[in-house]
Structure 1
Amino acid sequence: MVDINNPQGILAAVKCGDLYSNHPLKAKEEYRLLVQKYHPDRNKETMAEDVFLKIRDLYAQAEILFESGQWEESNVIEFKTKEDKFKRLKFIKEFPFELGQQYVASSVVVYVLEAEHKRYFENAIKRVSSLRYENQAMEDEFERYFPKFIDKFETAEGKWVLVIKKTKDLVRLHDLLDYYLGRIEPRHVAWMLSRLGNICCYLDYNGLVHNGISLENCFVSPENHAIALFGGWWYCVGQGEKMLGTQKQIYDVMGPLTKTNKTGSITTDLESIKLIGRVLLNKAQVPDSYQAWLEKGAADSARKEFLRWNKVLRNSYGVRKFMRMEVGEKEVYSL
């Protein structure tokens, strides 16, 4: 809800639920307090009259909705499942993607796939559940980078919903890039590329190709220098298996042979990572070996590429140092 001490925030409110609680008596008391604070006869601030009108209009809207039982609130979506159960989500941001809609909240990421994409929904669940680990140490290291489905269901209208657990320190990589106005400092990009390369090594170990490693599907923790790959699993296939699809920007960097054969190849994921690096840097000046690696074609195995990258890092920056990134969910999403 809006901060009632912020007149501009009140003016920006769109729905009655942005200002009032979803309970008639509580909303009435909130309205009374707001009127006391912003009535032009008491408040001589220049914005007071406009704020008062907004308060009054939204309360009138609230009374109508209380009567009809149809409450409205910004950044809230309610799902009705096929079993006639209701699930409510308060989200921070929503984004369209090629198969449906994505919702980012503090504790979850939700993907809603359109009805015709059932096979992608099922493939995501299948591929994530198939991930294997050589030992407990490997599991402890990698499982936090991949989706943990806390709910999955079909809606009454036939859409397919995946609910993935998320920690507050994780923000969508695309949103982090927007926060930095389209360019991230090269040393920070370097640790992100290292984390993605590590994920690729694990996928290669499992014989998988993700086919969806992108700014939209990766979530980054600036605080902990970690990256989680939450989206895109609907495109994941075994190496050598027929591809199910990919995003356009990934298709554009796929090798000619992969495009011809239309089969899963780890080089697709490796080229996707290099693409991410180029986009995050946005032509920023980097050491020559760094730039050469970004432009060179990917190796035929994730391990080979990771070894190449480690050599590039040593040549570019010497001994690794932890660089703090003073930004998080609050800053990125203006909370």
Structure 2
Amino acid sequence: MKNLNCKNCGGPMLIDPSGTTANCPFCGSKYVLDHRDTDYYRDFYERMRGFLHLSADGQERRRRADELWDSAASEVFECSDGRQIDIRSMHTYKNRIMTAYTARQNIIFRFDIGNEDKADRYRKNVSSIDYPSADTRSLSDFFPRISGGFELADATTLLVVKKREDEYPLRLFGTLSGRHTAWLIGRMENLCCVLEYNSIVHPEFGLDTLYIDPYDHQASLYGGWWSAVPNNTAVNGRICTTRDNLTALRETAAKVLGFESASAARETEDVPKPFADFLRSTPLSNAYEDFAYWDDVLIKSYGERRFINMETDDKQIYGKGQ
């Protein structure tokens, strides 16, 4: 996916899920995109959402993925020992600390000069994650697995994290339907329960740190781990608690649905009233209670859970009966 740079400071901008506006995370500028850029991003998002509807045919999935990766950008990095690393990425995301490259089977974080300690914090925070029981250890599949690190000739640092080939940044899907967002919330609640168990606050939980698998309907939390802090830690004069994770969950879901914020969520044909009420609600005292609350909201919104073969389109799946 192409990047747009801020006209004010030159930094790469973040494209809104609607594909109509862009925000600069560096200087705070906000732009309304022209129709050509809007058409490009909406078309890209539509291609990504198409993965949600593909059949179980492995060949078709591979063909569609290969088409996506045909436009991947290549970049070569020189290590301090003279070796070269060639990266092909289909998406890059940059903030004041690092640049993240989404490759086919890895995410490569390149930490800027002066932020080498953030790579160490990432490693430390990830290594401390524990799980309540053997039955829940499978949740480790949705948290980072570090495969290596490199010091580059320009004094920056690379950290390489494994990902499954069919996982993509959540931001790349643009807006999603109510039902698709509902399964995403369930996965995010799972992630928040693991964070709760470990007393971890993840301040960057959101569109750029979450990766989803559109085929298996799973979500993983791969980015932003350098910012994670223990529960009840003071950061910039504010006490961070695990309820912040649940607030970020609501904000993420609201943006994916096309709302400006969670507080702006409202009932629509696609978003039942209990769903909108959940997004606007204050998180419960912990992730376990909040997950139980969401389960109740889900049933009130869409009825009892049932298996759905995703080999169809939204209208066929989500069209209401009498």
Q: Helix, strand or coil for the counterpart of 1:131?
A: coil
The 1:112/1:297 distance shift into structure 2, 3 A limit, reads same
1:101 and 2:99 correspond: yes
Q: Helix, strand or coil for the counterpart of 1:242?
A: strand
Unaligned runs of 5+ in 2: 1-70, 260-267, 313-322
TM normalised by structure 2 equals: 0.68
| Equivalence for 2:148 | 151
Measure the CA separation in 2 of the matches of 1:297 and 1:308. Answer: 11
Q: 1:112 aligns with which of 107, 110, 113?
A: 110
Matches within 5 A, 1:252-331: 261-283=237-259, 285=269, 286-325=271-310
Deviation digits for residues 278-310 of structure 1 (CA, Å, limit 9, x no counterpart): 111114541111101100111221112111111
Q: 2:224 aligns with which of 206, 209, 232?
A: 232
| Equivalence for 2:210 | 218
Q: Helix, strand or coil for the counterpart of 1:263?
A: strand
The 1:107/1:302 distance shift into structure 2, 3 A limit, reads same
Measure the CA separation in 2 of the matches of 1:74 and 1:139. Answer: 34
Unaligned runs of 5+ in 1: 1-72, 178-182, 244-258, 328-335
Measure the CA separation in 1 of the matches of 2:190 and 2:280. Answer: 19
What stretches of structure 1 move > 6 A for 4+ residues in a row? none
Deviation at 1:237, TM superposition (A): 0.8
Q: How many residues align?
A: 233
Q: 1:163 aligns with which of 160, 164, 169?
A: 160
Contact 1:222-1:326 at 8 Å conserved across structures? no
Matches within 5 A, 1:47-196: 75-140=73-138, 142-177=139-174, 183-196=175-188
Measure the CA separation in 1 of the matches of 2:108 and 2:115. Answer: 15
Measure the CA separation in 2 of the matches of 1:172 and 1:323. Answer: 24
Identity %: 25
Contact 1:189-1:280 at 8 Å conserved across structures? yes
Flag the structure with higher helix content: 1
The 1:324/1:189 distance shift into structure 2, 3 A limit, reads farther
Measure the CA separation in 2 of the matches of 1:75 and 1:85. Answer: 20
Measure the CA separation in 1 of the matches of 2:181 and 2:92. Answer: 25
TM normalised by structure 1 equals: 0.65
Measure the CA separation in 1 of the matches of 2:151 and 2:306. Answer: 46
